[in-house]
């Protein structure tokens, strides 16, 4: 190499040469890469929060309603030119597709049947106490026997779900007023004891005064029996149950009133109070579940889609029809009136069981799907940010 060639090479290294020499020098900063479009590498825009950064890093897609940039892999620029994203759109996924919370271990059909039978037992006991105090012997007898049978059956389903009878007894070792599970256990045990004793005294005819006291005690525990399960559900971390904590007790109470009241329609001439309870319960259930689906936001999808949505829509139709038939049975005398009462009892009890199953299924779906946790959280974050910046 001659001296002139050596000087030309040294000038190129120091950046003093022509364009061909600069093109051979490596880029050392971001500004140099973005100043020349042909040489600038494409860099995917970073998401706004840490969760989104992690999601994009895994190649997931953020939907539009979550604050991400979904809707395809191309973004619009000013002037109509699109920009191709280097990563696919993010989806809602948890780590290794595992649920964010642990779903309850409660089983089907044990827990839905336990909820339905507990509601029937509670309303029947209250109607039986009312019939005893007002001299309606037929209503008293049917209510007492129905209450005892439903209470015992509900305990059987609960014990079967627990796996071993000893586990139910272990729940009685603690009396904790701040725990819905502890209080529910004591309510169930106390109610079942009074209800069973009242039914036994009703069948044997022994100690009628003691039977009245026991029946009144069971009737007093009836309202707590039909609503404590809703409080127990609402106190969990399951999104569809927790978000519905304001309406769920009314849904359960209305469902129980419709089912228990319609069973007592079979008492014949003493059925007037039971008919009013059944019709009022059907109206309360439909109104409460409608308000619930409108108020709880994203969690309402668990109640309106999938298997739970189908079951709850069928239950709502049966509840409305059963309530109308129950009301009509009060205006028809004789055999036709009794047939209408039987039809309304079948419709309302089937609807009540379906409602409990639908609520249970909706909660399990929301516990398994991370979107029911992530979407409301991001909506609350955006709302707080909007409040802080005064843009809401």
Residue ranges covered by each domain of the chain: 109-379
Omega prior to 109 cis, within 30 of 0: yes
Is 289 a residue whose pLDDT tops 90?
Answer: yes
pLDDT classification of 335: cutoffs 50, 70, 90: confident
Q: Are 183 and 177 in contact (CB under 8 A)?
A: yes
Question: Which of 12-21, 129-138, 198-207, 314-323 has the weakest average pLDDT?
Answer: 12-21
Q: Which top CATH class is 109-379?
A: mainly alpha
Predicted confidence band of residue 267 (pLDDT cuts 50, 70, 90): confident
Q: How far is CA 344 from CA 127, 150, 258, 347, 386, in A?
A: 17, 19, 9, 5, 51
- Give the pLDDT confidence of 147-202 residue by residue, as tens digits: 999 999 999 999 999 888 888 888 888 888 888 888 988 999 999 999 999 999 99
Tokens 């002037």 correspond to what residue?
A: 79
With bands split at pLDDT 50, 70 and 90, how would you rate the model's confidence at 225? very high
Q: What is the pLDDT of residues 11-68, one digit of tens each?
A: 555 544 444 444 444 433 433 333 333 333 343 444 444 444 444 334 344 444 444 4
Q: Which one is predicted more confidently, 350 or 38?
A: 350
* pLDDT band for position 90 (cuts 50, 70, 90): low
Q: What is the pLDDT of residue 11?
A: 55
pLDDT at 366: 93
What is d(CA 264, CA 146) in angstroms, rounded to the nearest whole number?
A: 8
| pLDDT for the residue numbered 345 | 94
């Amino acid at each position: 190499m001659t001296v002139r060639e050596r000087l030309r090479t040294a000038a190129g290294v120091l950046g003093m040469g022509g364009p061909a020499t600069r093109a051979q020098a490596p880029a050392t900063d971001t500004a140099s890469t973005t100043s020349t479009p042909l040489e600038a590498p494409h860099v995917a825009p970073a998401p706004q929060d840490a969760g989104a950064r992690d999601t994009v890093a895994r190649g997931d897609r953020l939907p539009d309603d979550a604050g991400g940039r979904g809707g395809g892999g191309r973004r619009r620029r000013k002037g109509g030119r699109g920009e191709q994203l280097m990563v696919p759109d993010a989806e809602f996924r948890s780590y290794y597709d595992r649920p964010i919370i642990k779903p309850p271990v409660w089983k089907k059909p044990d827990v839905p049947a336990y909820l339905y039978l507990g509601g029937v037992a509670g309303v029947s006991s209250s109607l039986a106490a009312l019939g005893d105090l007002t001299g309606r012997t037929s209503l008293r007898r049917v209510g007492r026997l129905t209450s005892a049978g439903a209470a015992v059956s509900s305990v059987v389903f609960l014990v079967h779900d627990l796996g071993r009878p000893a586990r139910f007894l272990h729940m009685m070792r603690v009396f904790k007023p701040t725990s819905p599970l502890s209080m529910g256990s004591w309510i169930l045990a106390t109610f079942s004891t009074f209800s069973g004793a009242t039914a036994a005294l009703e069948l044997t005819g022994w100690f009628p005064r003691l039977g009245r006291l026991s029946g009144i005690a069971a009737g007093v525990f009836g309202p707590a029996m039909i609503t404590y399960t809703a409080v127990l559900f609402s106190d969990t971390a399951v999104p569809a149950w927790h978000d519905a904590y304001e309406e769920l007790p009314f849904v359960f109470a209305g469902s129980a009133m419709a089912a228990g009241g319609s069973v007592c329609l079979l008492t014949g001439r003493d059925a007037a109070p039971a008919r009013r309870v059944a019709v009022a319960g059907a109206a309360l259930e439909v109104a409460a579940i409608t308000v619930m689906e409108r108020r709880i936001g994203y969690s309402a999808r668990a109640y309106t889609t999938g298997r739970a949505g189908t079951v709850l829509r069928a239950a709502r139709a049966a509840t409305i029809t059963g309530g109308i038939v129950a009301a009509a049975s009060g205006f028809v005398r004789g055999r036709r009136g009794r047939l209408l009462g039987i039809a309304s009892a079948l419709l309302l009890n089937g609807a009540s069981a379906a409602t409990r199953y639908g609520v249970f299924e909706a909660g399990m779906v929301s516990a398994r799907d991370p979107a029911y946790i992530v979407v409301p959280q991001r909506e609350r974050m955006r709302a707080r940010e909007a409040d802080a910046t005064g843009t809401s």
